[in-house]
Amino acid sequence: MEKKQLGAWGESKAVGFLQTGGYNVLEKNFRCRSGEIDIIALKDGVLCFIEVKTRTSLAYGLPCQAVGPAKQRHIRRAALAYVCQNPGYAKHDLRMDVIELLRLPQGSYIRHVTGAF
């Protein structure tokens, strides 16, 4: 599976996982000058900015470990841009999450890391 296909698969699984968990998915692949946010979702008055990381092995560690300081800064800036463009969400609490997925021959794994950074 190519990298783009794997990423699309992971994001699709993450959206389904969130919806099953009661999240209202507001945006997918939000882009602005500051960066991109894979998923923006709302649950219980908390606006969540979610980075999705999908891998096919543990050779480079867990998928969530790929969200380093530079990526975190980009997501924070993009989140601020989103709230500025959508001022109705300014009253909500904000949270940065990571959903990590592993797609291994023996099966798939998904984990939602809330308040990851």
Q: Tell me: the pLDDT tens digits for 9-30? A: 999 999 999 999 999 999 999 9
CATH architecture of 3-113: 3-Layer(aba) Sandwich (3.40)
Sheet with 107-113, strands from edge to edge, namely 24-32, 35-43, 46-55, 93-104, 107-113
Residue 38: pLDDT over 80: yes
- 3: three-class secondary structure by DSSP: helix
What are the structural domain ranges in the chain?
3-113
pLDDT value of position 104: 87
Q: How do residues 47-64 score in pLDDT, each as one tens digit?
A: 999 999 999 998 888 899
For residues 34 and 74, the answer to whether their CB atoms sit within 8 Å is yes
**Does residue 1 carry a pLDDT above 80?**
no
Residue with tokens 């994001």: 11
Average pLDDT over residues 81-110: 94
